[in-house]
């Protein structure tokens, strides 16, 4: 079943935290297209106003500029809301190594504020963004829920803590929480700029500008790249999950495995930039070498059935960047 066929109660209101960000704005768009009301909470520290400007004229859309680190803001933003899709966080492993205090403040305190506000406002379900980084130094492939290792970065630790708080809120307070462990999401509106930009949009922009991207390490590291449409599907299907699974976390990926060197070659070919060769730099501190997801739990429990593989997704992504950069 496509997420477009999912039905919620009439007049349902959804709060999307981090709604002006890459994943958040795609969630806002999908929910609005389904005819429901969306309240977007974002402090625009990472999210961009331009990502949500296209919703301004929609009568079902409301934007609140606010910081999840402020509990009163979270309480007010979630008042009168039925469901919360909590995407607000700071990503990037290397940046977290440089700024551990900020990551603790935003990713842990901010998430705890959302959970507590959800409890006080009797929110029906909270789906929150976790990360494949929670697997840490556990080298077994594919990654499977229940076999987590020791975190390799402050970012990974914040996501592990978020999951533990989610379980506590489910067990102690009967708050329906569901964690989605995203595996290298890519697609439209993902920011290509900055030192901590994700690899795919960064590579695309540099190649379009006839510049050589830098691959950290030898390029033989692998990732389970996941197109944004699959992530939207997972979030909306998690909102329909049976409450007996509250407090649990799920791998959200396609279930494939792509190597960075191959990714580069594919992008160069599709963009007709095969004459541009990459530069190889040092490994990034805190990065895992390989990542590949076992998605059987999400399939069985959530009905998650991703149909956007890497080849299909990368063509859509390139088309968007060519039109919008």
| CA angle in degrees (0–180, nearest 5) for 20-164-112 | 45
CA end-to-end span of the chain:
33
Q: Which residue(s) pair with 186 in the sheet?
A: 227
Report the run of H or E that residue 159 belongs to, with start and end: helix 154-173
CA 163 to chain CA centroid, nearest Å: 15
Closest CA to 158 of 294, 42, 286, 290: 286
Show which residues are catalytic: 155
CB-facing half-sphere around the CA of 1: CA atoms within 13 A: 12
d(CA 188, CA 313): 10
Closest CA to 249 of 131, 133, 168: 131
Closest CA to 293 of 323, 258, 247, 243: 258
CA 86 to chain CA centroid, nearest Å: 10
Report the run of H or E that residue 95 belongs to, with start and end: helix 93-98
């Amino acid at each position: 079943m496509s997420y477009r066929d999912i039905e919620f109660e009439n007049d349902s209101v959804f709060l999307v935290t981090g709604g002006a960000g890459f994943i958040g704005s795609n969630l806002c768009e999908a929910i609005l297209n389904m005819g429901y009301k969306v309240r977007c909470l974002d402090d625009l520290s990472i999210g961009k106003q331009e990502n949500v400007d296209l919703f301004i004229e929609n009568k079902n859309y409301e934007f609140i500029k606010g910081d999840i680190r402020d509990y009163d803001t979270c309480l007010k933003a979630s008042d009168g809301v039925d469901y919360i899709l909590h995407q607000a966080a700071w990503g990037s492993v290397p940046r977290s190594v440089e700024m551990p205090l900020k990551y603790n403040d935003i990713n842990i305190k901010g998430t705890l504020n959302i959970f507590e506000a959800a409890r006080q406002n009797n929110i029906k379900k909270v789906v929150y963004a976790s990360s494949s980084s929670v697997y840490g130094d556990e080298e077994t492939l594919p990654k499977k829920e229940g076999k987590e290792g020791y975190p390799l970065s402050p970012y990974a630790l914040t996501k592990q803590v978020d999951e533990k708080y989610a379980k506590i809120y489910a067990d102690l307070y009967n708050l329906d929480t569901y964690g989605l462990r995203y595996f290298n999401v890519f697609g439209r509106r993902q920011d290509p700029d900055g030192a901590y930009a994700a690899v795919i949009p960064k590579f695309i922009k540099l190649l379009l500008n006839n510049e050589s991207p830098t691959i950290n390490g030898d390029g033989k590291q692998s990732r389970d790249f996941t197109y944004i449409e699959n992530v939207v599907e997972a979030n909306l299907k998690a909102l329909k999950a049976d409450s007996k699974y509250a407090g649990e976390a799920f791998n959200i990926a396609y279930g494939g495995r792509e190597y960075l060197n191959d990714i580069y070659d594919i992008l160069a070919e599709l963009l007709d930039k095969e004459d541009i060769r990459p530069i190889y730099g040092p490994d990034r501190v805190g990065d895992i070498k390989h990542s590949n997801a076992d998605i059987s739990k999400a399939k069985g429990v959530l009905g998650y059935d991703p149909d956007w593989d890497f080849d299909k997704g990368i063509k859509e992504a390139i088309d968007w960047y060519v039109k919008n950069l």
